[in-house]
Structure 1
Amino acid sequence: MATLNGRPVTPDALLTLALTNYGHFTSMRVDDQRVRGLGLHLERLVRDCRTVMGAELDPEQVRAYVRQAAGDLTGSFVVRVTVFDPAVEVGHPDRADHPGVLVTVRPAGRLPMPPLRVKSVRYERDVPAVKHTGLFGALHARRSALLDGYDDALFIGPDDRVSEGATWNVGFIDADGVVWPEADVLPGVTMALLQRSGEHRTMPVTLAEARGMHAAFATNTTIGVRALSAVDDVPMATEHPVLSQLRKAYLAVPGERL
């Protein structure tokens, strides 16, 4: 199901997004018509719309569009809200100032999800603070990892420091608890919810230090807290008391009604 500004979307209306791909989005897992961190998702859309389009976005209108798309669906599913200007031309992104709201719905996987084996890849996302639709670099890195037999890519900067995954934040567990890499990364909603729920530290983490951690995990709205079973050829523990605590803390976050 897909709607644009609350109406069934037509192929012509999606041409700009397909050909120009200038916009931003958020994805949110819906469980029984509730979303963990719904307010944070809406704040992201408003903030990114100002950055990408210099325009204001009405969060309550977006919420209404999401509620309409979700309808009376039960169980768990993922709603993606993509904001773009259907009239923008590739030669004039400066004129992208009339945001349209595309809402799509897809099935959600069951939690917890199996561990990930990740390959370190030298890559930095453009404008990392924005969840934008420019995913080519991230998906190319993911493709490289998949072709080499891994499940996904872990991004490493030119300073040899870990930043994030292709579509997820990464965290680590050492002898003192939870560590988040200090780097220019997307401010993930799931990461923010976990940081609110318990003690944590943010510090630079090199690739060598990452491989020496007690455990590692990926986070985003669709996967929750997902263990990493290996970073390159170095195995990581997939069962750890702190990992269990993080999973429980995430699932205990009360969902906000759509």
Structure 2
Amino acid sequence: MSLKVQIDGESASVESLAPLLLSNYGAFTSMQVEDGAVRGLDLHLQRLEQEALALFGVAVPEARLRERMQSALSGQARRSSLRVQLFLPAITHRTPDAMGQPNVLTVVSPPANPLCDALRLQTQDYAREVPELKHNATFGLTRTRRLAKEAGFDDALFVGPDGLVSEGSTWNIGFVESGRIIWPRAPMLLGTGMQLLQNGLDLVGLDSETRVIDRTTLAGFRQAFICNSATPACPVGNIDGRSLDVDPAIIDRLQAAWASNAPQSI
């Protein structure tokens, strides 16, 4: 399966992609599609609306977003990954104040396999700019993950300047304490995978709460997991060299909570 790249429903050209290559001012969402449907599609559409209003002052109508997504997926495999990205060519370094309805870039690629093996995480002092948005400024994310891998870990867990544990490079983190799910309270992205889990926790008999977590309290947790749009729940086996317990039964219940969200047709 090769990449299919479109801008506003038309095949992307080098010229049409130039604004994206020359500026990272934009935002996106990524999702896993099966038979034309997505779990949490409403969350992705809501995210795109919020991003557009925050960055460009004008939202793309939902009907138009759906048209762009349907065009991108036409003729593609029944399972695929879809990235929907918003950008406005009028915004440049010389005209940063331009406003208007953004263009819609869609990229269809092979489906992302969910992470399964227990992860080794390294805490790093880092916080994303405007963390509530899933924006294009990913230099710091890539750099922190590279540093973690150079140190023998799989990925980086961020600790902000306020000393609070927040999120990871492309995922949210949750902790397990006495059968209760604990989410960090900190500036971060409210991921679609995290929201799908929260929607289904009651159905699998799990309670949850949001709590401030710093490096000291982090050391008190014995179980953790990560989640994003491609991975319902993957256990964390190590943080900063400290081994954590891996309970397959908890991961199974979390995955069941995620699966309780019915796919929504695009």
TM surpasses 0.5:
yes
| Residue of structure 2 in register with 1:120 after alignment | 123
| Residue of structure 2 in register with 1:64 after alignment | 67
* 8 Å CA contact retained: 1:36, 1:254: yes
How far residue 13 of structure 1 moved from its aligned partner, in angstroms, is 1.1
User: C-alpha deviations, 1:89-137, integer Å up to 9, x for none?
Assistant: 2222211423000000111233453222111000011111111111111
Q: Which amino acid aligns with 2:210?
A: T
Q: Which amino acid aligns with 2:13?
A: T
| Residue of structure 1 in register with 2:163 after alignment | 160
Q: Which amino acid aligns with 2:221?
A: M
| Residue of structure 2 in register with 1:26 after alignment | 29
Q: Which amino acid aligns with 2:263?
A: G
* 8 Å CA contact retained: 1:145, 1:153: yes
Match of 1:194 among 194, 197, 204: 197
* 8 Å CA contact retained: 2:60, 2:101: no
Task: Flag the 1:205–1:77 CA change in 2: closer, same or farther, 3 A.
Answer: same
Secondary structure in structure 2 of the residue aligned to 1:94: coil
How far residue 251 of structure 1 moved from its aligned partner, in angstroms, is 2.1
Is 1:223 the equivalent of 2:223?
Answer: no
In the alignment, the residues of structure 2 paired with residue 192 and residue 81 of structure 1 have an alpha-carbon distance, to the nearest angstrom, of 19
In the alignment, the residues of structure 2 paired with residue 135 and residue 102 of structure 1 have an alpha-carbon distance, to the nearest angstrom, of 17
How far residue 53 of structure 1 moved from its aligned partner, in angstroms, is 0.8
* 8 Å CA contact retained: 2:132, 2:190: yes
| Residue of structure 2 in register with 1:237 after alignment | 245
Q: Over aligned residue pairs, what C-alpha RMSD do you find?
A: 1.5
Q: Which amino acid aligns with 1:76?
A: R
Secondary structure in structure 1 of the residue aligned to 2:124: strand
Q: Which amino acid aligns with 2:235?
A: A
* 8 Å CA contact retained: 2:59, 2:101: no
Is 1:137 the equivalent of 2:140?
Answer: yes
User: C-alpha deviations, 1:199-230, integer Å up to 9, x for none?
Assistant: 21001012232233131111110122111111
* 8 Å CA contact retained: 2:197, 2:232: no
* 8 Å CA contact retained: 1:14, 1:86: no
Secondary structure in structure 2 of the residue aligned to 1:93: coil
| Residue of structure 1 in register with 2:204 after alignment | none
Q: Which amino acid aligns with 2:145?
A: R
Match of 2:46 among 20, 43, 47: 43
| Residue of structure 2 in register with 1:15 after alignment | 18
In the alignment, the residues of structure 1 paired with residue 249 and residue 217 of structure 2 have an alpha-carbon distance, to the nearest angstrom, of 20
Q: Which amino acid aligns with 1:207?
A: R
Secondary structure in structure 2 of the residue aligned to 1:138: helix
Match of 2:212 among 204, 210, 230: 204
* 8 Å CA contact retained: 2:81, 2:112: no
Is 1:257 the equivalent of 2:265?
Answer: yes
Secondary structure in structure 1 of the residue aligned to 2:113: coil
Task: Flag the 1:96–1:146 CA change in 2: closer, same or farther, 3 A.
Answer: farther
Q: Which amino acid aligns with 1:213?
A: F
Give unmatched runs, 5+ long, in structure 1.
none
Q: Which amino acid aligns with 1:225?
A: A
Fraction of identical pairs, as percent: 33
Task: Flag the 1:136–1:112 CA change in 2: closer, same or farther, 3 A.
Answer: closer
Give unmatched runs, 5+ long, in structure 2.
202-206
